[in-house]
Amino acid sequence: MSSLKTIKYSKQLIGTSLVWLTGMGMIAFAIVNSSSIEQLAQLKYIPIYTVIILSSLCLGLCHYLYWQDYKT
């Protein structure tokens, strides 16, 4: 793998990792500030759950693609 591709994938991994950590922080904040389980199902938390799920999928995909290109 060329040096330029390695830098590109490294930046993508760092970016998606930061988004994932931010999403995890938001989920933790939502759980800590909720007084009951029913409160977590409110609509205001749906975007937070969406961010964490999508960023987790993107992070996994970036890691997979990085290691596939690294092998070749």
Which whole-number Å values give the CA distances from 46 to 1, 14, 56, 65, in the listed order? 39, 25, 15, 29
Instruction: Map out the domains of the chain as residue ranges.
Output: 3-71
Query: Taken in order 65, 11, 47, 44, is the CA torsion positive or negative?
Result: positive
| Dist. CA 47–CA 14, nearest whole Å | 22
* Digit-coded pLDDT (tens) for 19-37: 778 877 877 887 787 777 7
DSSP 3-state of 1:
coil
Give residue 72's pLDDT: 63
The residue ranking higher by pLDDT, 1 or 10, is 10
* Digit-coded pLDDT (tens) for 37-46: 777 677 676 7
**pTM exceeding the 0.75 threshold for the entire prediction:** no
Dmax (CA) for the chain in angstroms is 51
Give the pLDDT band of residue 47 (cuts 50, 70, 90): confident
